[in-house]
Amino acid sequence: MPPDPSDRHFQDAVEASRIYLLPNFFTAGNLFFGFLAAIRCIQANIPGAEEAAAGLYKEAVLFLIIAVICDGLDGRVARLGGKESLFGAEFDSLADVVSFGVVPALMVFFLILSSTEAFPFFRQIGWLIGFLYLLCAAVRLARFNVLTHPMLPPAEKLARTTDFLGLPVPAAAGTIASIVLVMIEYNLRDWVRLLLPVFMVLIAYLMVSSVRFPSFKHIDWHTQLRFGWFIGGVSLIGLLVILKEIGLLLLFMSYIFFGLIRHIKSHPLLQSRATEGSVNVTDQ
């Protein structure tokens, strides 16, 4: 894998701001499909579009998933080609704010407004919940840029770990989008739909938390897997194809719960209890 640009200082502003075609092409694709998703969310709430709203929301979710794929490809292509730059990192974060910050906030905001009149409280604070999610997404991206900046000493850089600090915004957006897709596909009742704002607040908190989530940046063409992991991965893909909307939701939820469970297990209190337990067993 090519060296990470955060491991060194750039010679000048020209080197740091270079625009490499292929990585930034995928970043632009991320921004483009995020923009299309935002348009579909707005179109679904134009008066007279009630019958077409479900289809428009599904298109918005599809565009958002494509944006997630583009976001995963831009950094990987840059690292594989050794063509990373500070411009690319900043451009990626700006695109992420739109695709994975604004779009999920719009989805939840509009779905709250379209819920039953029996829950006026959620309708009144829908804008605040959407903004809270957007704010946490922006803070999460700003923190990541600071912790991976070349000006930091090597020992302080988050880039040297294989984990993300806080839930990545693409995963957060993908989780919200998959929930919206399940809600629309299965026409869930209003009281179930109103659980989405509560879950969105939890997602917002996870983005700015200290919980670490796997980044998978170390996976490339040279990565080797054990036979069991390979079979499990292929089976997972097949399960996603069969379950479709439910499978997509389970994929994102599994990622979140994996990080949470691992974080809980690494808590100092649990670690000390485990150590005491092993000592007691040894003494016996």
- Give the separation between CA 168 and CA 195, rounded to whole angstroms: 22
Q: What is the DSSP string of 144-204?
A: HHHHT-TTS-GGG-GGGSSEEES--HHHHHHHHHHHHHHHHHTT--HHHHTHHHHHHHHHH
> In the chain, what are the domain boundaries?
5-222
Residue 23 backbone dihedrals phi, psi, to 5 degrees:
-60, -45
Burial of 255 (0-12, 13-18, 19+ CB in 10 A): middle
Q: State which CATH number among 3.40.30.10, 1.10.10.10, 1.20.120.1760, 2.60.40.10 fits the domain covering 5-222.
A: 1.20.120.1760
For residue 279, the model assigns a pLDDT of: 47
H or E element in which residue 3 lies: none
For residue 38, the model assigns a pLDDT of: 96
List per-residue pLDDT tens for the chain, 284 residues long.
Answer: 334 444 445 555 555 566 666 788 999 999 999 999 999 999 998 888 888 988 999 999 999 999 999 998 887 776 666 666 778 888 899 999 999 999 999 998 888 776 655 567 777 788 888 999 999 999 999 988 888 776 666 555 554 557 888 999 999 999 999 998 988 888 776 666 778 888 899 999 999 999 999 887 666 555 656 767 667 777 777 777 787 888 889 889 999 999 999 999 887 666 555 555 544 544 43
- Give the separation between CA 104 and CA 101, rounded to whole angstroms: 6
The first and second tokens of residue 39, run together, are: 């348009």
H or E element in which residue 213 lies: strand 212-214
